Chains A and B, each alone.
Chain A
Amino acid sequence: GAGVSQTPSNKVTEKGKYVELRCDPISGHTALYWYRQSLGQGPEFLIYFQGTGAADDSGLPNDRFFAVRPEGSVSTLKIQRTERGDSAVYLCASSSGQPNTEAFFGQGTRLTVV
């Protein structure tokens, strides 16, 4: 596609529910990143994929958060037993995977847990 696409753009869920957030990276990009941006803060790194594998998941806050990229393209961020503190904008970015090339960001999914 022309850019990084994230769906849904907005998601409202009840506390305790399970949610999935989807990211479609730029075609051919092997590197994919998830970030979380809370109100008034900069984006915080969650997880990085190179191809199908999670090369760095050090930013995932706890075991309620999980992400997959089974075919090395689309990625899904999964959050179990959502809490109000999970409310944030979740950003996805992709790059060619070469060192220090530009990462292109999607417009994000705004998650609200009520």
Chain B
Amino acid sequence: AQSVTQLDSQVPVFEEAPVELRCNYSSSVSVYLFWYVQYPNQGLQLLLKYLSGSTLVESINGFEAEFNKSQTSFHLRKPSVHISDTAEYFCAVSGGATNKLIFGTGTLLAVQP
């Protein structure tokens, strides 16, 4: 069975400060890892994903995440956040033939001016 843990339900941060959103997973099989973002009143959008190869993956808007197999983590980071980054962020894992996603409970990133 697979599961995802996002320990922080809400992360308040000031604009231009760095941020880390934590994600830990458990799985008995090889996994593929994802971060999805949900902006207010919008649907889920893929932010970035790790399938194989380099353990550091980046998004087009400055976020990055590093797959750490020994710590079973896939933390999301950004060196300097903007007000527009305010959203709910979901970590997810998939593995197996169906590609179904198992999501964490989400972390609300609240960027303050």
Contact = CB atoms under 8 A, between A and B. Distances in A.
B43 A107 contact: yes
- Which of B4, B43, B51 has the most chain A CB atoms closer than 10 A to its own CB? B43
Given A56-B98, A91-B44, A95-B99, A42 B106 contact: yes
B11 interface: no
Interface string B2-42: 00101001000000000000000000000010001000001
A103 B99 contact: yes
Contacts of B4: 42
Contacts of B45: 105
Interface string A30-56: 010101000011111100101000011
- Which of B6, B49, B97, B98 has the most chain A CB atoms closer than 10 A to its own CB? B98
Contacts of B94: 100
Nearest to B99: A100
A55 B98 contact: yes
B105 A108 contact: no
A100 B32 contact: yes
- Which of B32, B42, B51, B100 has the most chain A CB atoms closer than 10 A to its own CB? B100
Given A91-B44, A108-B43, A43 B49 contact: no
A99 to B, nearest CB: 7
Given A42-B90, A91-B44, A105-B43, A99 B99 contact: yes
A48 B43 contact: no
A100 B43 contact: no
Interface of A: 4, 31, 33, 35, 40-45, 48, 50, 55-56, 59, 91, 93, 95, 99-103, 105-108
Interface of B: 4, 6, 9, 32, 36, 42-46, 49, 51, 90, 92, 94, 97-106
